[in-house]
Amino acid sequence: MSAGVACGSTSSTPTVAEHPQPSPLSAPHDPVPDTVVVGRIGRPHGVRGEVTVEVRTDDPELRFAAGSVLLTEPVARGPLTVAARRWHREILLLSLEGPAGPVESREAAEALRDTELHVPLADLPELDDPDAYYDHQLVGLAARLPDGTALGEVAAVRHEGADLLVVRRPEGGELLVPFVAAIVPTVDVAGGFVVVDPPEGLLDL
């Protein structure tokens, strides 16, 4: 699901949609059960309560339409209802209503900074492209080399210009694997594994 929108799917490149990606500046925490992250609130915009949003979904027009109700992490900050949405250049701006009413001041918007915005998994549409995956489908899969050697487990998916699988190694540490067909030729969600065919030097990073 945690980052801009996912790139368009092709028949040769696996892609991801809806981005449950923790902020690198925040401590790890358990996500809201049975949800995925579609955005994270950033700094306030102006003095009337608008917030900037780091989008982590393929379909921000749908996820952040006026009237949409978003679950939050921390849970106590929500749920939040989208009162209005607009784009400022390439930045999504939202006006929100919270449990205590409309967010109408810069101070109230600042109090929501770093809030993750979630939607229930049940609300996600089926993906038409067989080479596209939601982040939550990838997290927890075993990672193995083409010869079957265990490499680790997919612990997270990052979206930092390119999609990266974060593979937690059995001996400790993490490996960042570019999520492209040349390096991850097989994704078997039902079987519970991905195959990583690393280029020279990747395993040494």
Inside any domain, residue 8 = no
195 and 119 both lie in a single domain: no
Pairing of strands 15-17, 132-134: parallel
Mapping DSSP to helix (H, G, I), strand (E, B) and coil, where does residue 122 land? helix
Q: What per-residue confidence (pLDDT) applies to 74?
A: 94
110 and 176 both lie in a single domain: no
Inside any domain, residue 113 = yes
Strand partners, 178: 164
Inside any domain, residue 7 = no
Range of the domain at 164: 139-204
27 and 59 both lie in a single domain: yes
Q: What per-residue confidence (pLDDT) applies to 32?
A: 46
CATH code of the domain covering residue 96: 2.40.30.60
48 and 73 both lie in a single domain: yes
Tokens of 125: 């549409």
143 and 108 both lie in a single domain: no
124: Cα within 13 Å, side-chain hemisphere: 24
Inside any domain, residue 185 = yes
Inside any domain, residue 81 = yes
CB 98 within 8 A of CB 115: no
CB 177 within 8 A of CB 165: yes
Mapping DSSP to helix (H, G, I), strand (E, B) and coil, where does residue 75 land? helix
Q: Of 91, 123, 155, which one is at a domain's C-terminal end?
A: 123
- For 108, which DSSP code? H
CATH code of the domain covering residue 164: 2.30.30.240
- For 160, which DSSP code? S
Question: Which pTM value belongs to this model?
Answer: 0.60
Inside any domain, residue 6 = no
Inside any domain, residue 180 = yes
List per-residue pLDDT tens for the chain, 205 residues long: 332 223 222 223 455 555 443 333 333 344 445 888 889 999 999 999 999 999 888 788 988 999 999 999 999 999 999 999 999 989 999 999 999 999 999 999 999 999 999 988 777 777 777 778 888 889 899 999 999 999 999 998 887 767 889 999 988 889 999 999 999 999 999 999 999 999 887 887 6
32 and 115 both lie in a single domain: yes
Instruction: Compute the distance between CA of residue 77 and CA of residue 21 in angstroms, rounded to an integer.
Output: 19
Instruction: Compute the distance between CA of residue 70 and CA of residue 63 in angstroms, rounded to an integer.
Output: 9
Domain count, the chain: 2
44 and 76 both lie in a single domain: yes
Inside any domain, residue 2 = no
